[in-house]
Amino acid sequence: MQFNGIMPGPQADPLPAWTCDAIDTNLASIVRFALALNRDYDAVKNAIKMPWSNG
């Protein structure tokens, strides 16, 4: 639910806190997703903040 609140907004500031919380859940699929977001944080941050799409 928290992740859904981050995506439509123009601010990526809550993302690092969300990924830390997600990693702490110990749910394998959520942890993998959060780690993948951390690996490419700049691209994810720009995808949240920018109105453009490559799709």
CB-based burial of residue 7 (10 Å sphere; 0-12 exposed, 13-18 middle, 19+ buried)? exposed
pTM of the model: 0.69
For residues 50 and 47, what is the distance between their CA atoms, to the nearest angstrom? 6
pLDDT at 7 over 80: no
pLDDT at 5 over 70: no
Q: How confident is the model at residue 8 (pLDDT cuts 50, 70, 90)?
A: low
Per domain, the residue ranges of the chain are: 14-55
